[in-house]
């Protein structure tokens, strides 16, 4: 594994004399978004700086993602289960592992589970992945068990049993901690951004259409990074704003950034297959708009 320094700069594009050394040798990954829940909301529900004159409907989708390489499949986040969803008033559609199975990804066989951050909707069903190593930013676990959890405002998106489970995984040698930026496989790297939570990370992936960034909760919606509108659930607003710029540097274009909760993702990308219409979309395909 190769570690990058903090503040990774944009990797060089393959120039003629670079062929064979950079992107040209990378195997592209396929990326799938699996929708497992949703909730009704309006735009102002999501913003710090609200507009009382403009508050259209803006529901929220909940996803887990599969990053499928030629030799290995990574899963990004594990969502929540029905019980947790009902406790939080979410409309639960399917268990995340059942959604993944629709594209041939079996949770029990997955060896690598990337966890963007430890909120209830991203780590909830991690024990469906008994063989998986969890990839986490060092700062995120420190945050989830540290003094900032005195504040209900920050704590309410975490679920104690999930954090307990991650500590159990740590004691079972199943947690891989990253610091800042780290390439975990050729064409796949993790980047600490913070903001929404202290240890939030985004994932950069090499695909057939170039470098993509899975923003997860660094940008819940397209509007967050396109209009520079910080999301309401936040630990550090400045870091959240900086993350929009970091993602822009890491991705080949704004169309290569995938927000974490935006229903537009289901409209802009084609279904993975006829059977998965409205459930799974393929993100390494060209967006429809
Ligand atoms: Zn989330």
Phi then psi for residue 16, to 5 deg, are -55, -45
Instruction: Dump pLDDT digits (tens) for 234-263.
Output: 999 999 999 999 999 999 999 999 999 999
CA of 16 to the centre of ligand 1 (A): 41
Ligand 1 centroid distance, CA of 61 (Å): 9
Residue 140 is predicted with a pLDDT of 98
Counting Cα atoms < 13 Å in the Cβ hemisphere of 104 gives: 8
Q: Which residues make beta-bridge pairs with 205?
A: 188, 212
Mean pLDDT of the chain: 92
Identify the CA nearest to 68 among candidates 172, 153, 188. 188
**Whether 69 contacts 31, CB under 8 Å:** no
Q: Given pLDDT bands bounded at 50, 70 and 90, which one contains residue 55?
A: confident
**168 CA to centre of ligand 1 in angstroms:** 23
Tokens of residue 195, six digits: 């903001």
Question: Mean pLDDT lowest for which of 37-51, 132-146, 154-168?
Answer: 37-51
Question: In the structure, what pLDDT confidence band is assigned to residue 20 with cuts at 50, 70 and 90?
Answer: very low
pLDDT in tens, 171-195: 999 999 999 999 999 999 999 999 9
Q: What are the two backbone dihedrals, phi and then psi, of residue 119, each rounded to the nearest 5 degrees?
A: -65, 155
Is the pLDDT confidence value at 168 over 60?
yes
- Going along the chain from its start, the domains and CATH numbers come out as 22-180+261-282 (3.60.15.10)
Element (H, E) at 32: strand 30-39
| Residue 132 CA: distances (Å) to CA of 11, 75, 106, 135 | 29, 9, 12, 9
Cα 137 to middle of ligand 1, angstroms: 16
CA 261–ligand 1 middle distance (angstroms): 7
Residues 202/116, Cβ–Cβ less than 8 Å: yes
Q: 222 C-alpha to center of ligand 1: Å?
A: 14
Please check the confidence at residue 163 and state whether its pLDDT lies above 80.
yes
Distance 266 CA to ligand 1 centre (A): 16
10 CA to middle of ligand 1, Å?
26
- The pTM (predicted TM-score) of the whole model is 0.92
Gap between the Cα atoms of 1 and 214, Å rounded: 20
**What is the average pLDDT across 117-131?**
97
Cα distance between residue 7 and residue 289, in whole Å = 31
């Amino acid at each position: 594994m190769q570690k990058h320094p903090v503040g990774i700069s944009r990797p060089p594009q393959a120039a003629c004399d670079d062929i064979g050394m950079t992107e040209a040798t990378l195997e592209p990954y396929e990326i799938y978004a699996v929708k497992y829940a949703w909730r009704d909301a309006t735009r102002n529900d999501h913003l710090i700086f609200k507009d009382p004159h403009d508050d259209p409907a803006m529901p929220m989708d909940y996803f887990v993602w599969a990053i499928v390489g030629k030799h290995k499949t990574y899963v990004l986040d594990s969502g929540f289960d029905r019980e947790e969803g009902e406790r939080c008033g979410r409309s639960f559609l399917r268990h995340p592992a059942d959604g993944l199975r629709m594209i041939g990804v079996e949770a029990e066989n997955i060896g690598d589970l990337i966890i963007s951050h430890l909120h209830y909707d991203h780590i909830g069903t991690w024990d469906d992945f008994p063989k998986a190593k969890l990839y986490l930013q060092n700062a995120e676990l420190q945050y989830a068990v540290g003094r900032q959890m005195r504040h209900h405002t920050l704590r309410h998106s975490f679920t104690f049993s999930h954090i307990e489970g991650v500590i159990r995984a740590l004691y079972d040698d199943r947690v891989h901690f990253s610091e800042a930026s780290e390439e975990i496989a050729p064409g796949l790297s993790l980047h600490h951004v913070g903001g929404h939570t202290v240890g939030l990370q985004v994932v950069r992936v090499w695909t057939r259409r170039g470098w993509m960034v899975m923003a997860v909760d660094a940008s819940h919606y397209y509007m967050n990074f396109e209009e520079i509108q910080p999301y309401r659930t936040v630990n550090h607003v400045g870091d959240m704003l900086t993350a929009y710029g970091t993602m822009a540097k890491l991705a080949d274009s704004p169309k290569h950034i995938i927000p974490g909760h935006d229903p537009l993702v289901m409209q802009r990308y084609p279904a993975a297959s006829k059977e998965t219409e409205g459930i799974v979309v393929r993100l390494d395909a060209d967006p429809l708009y």
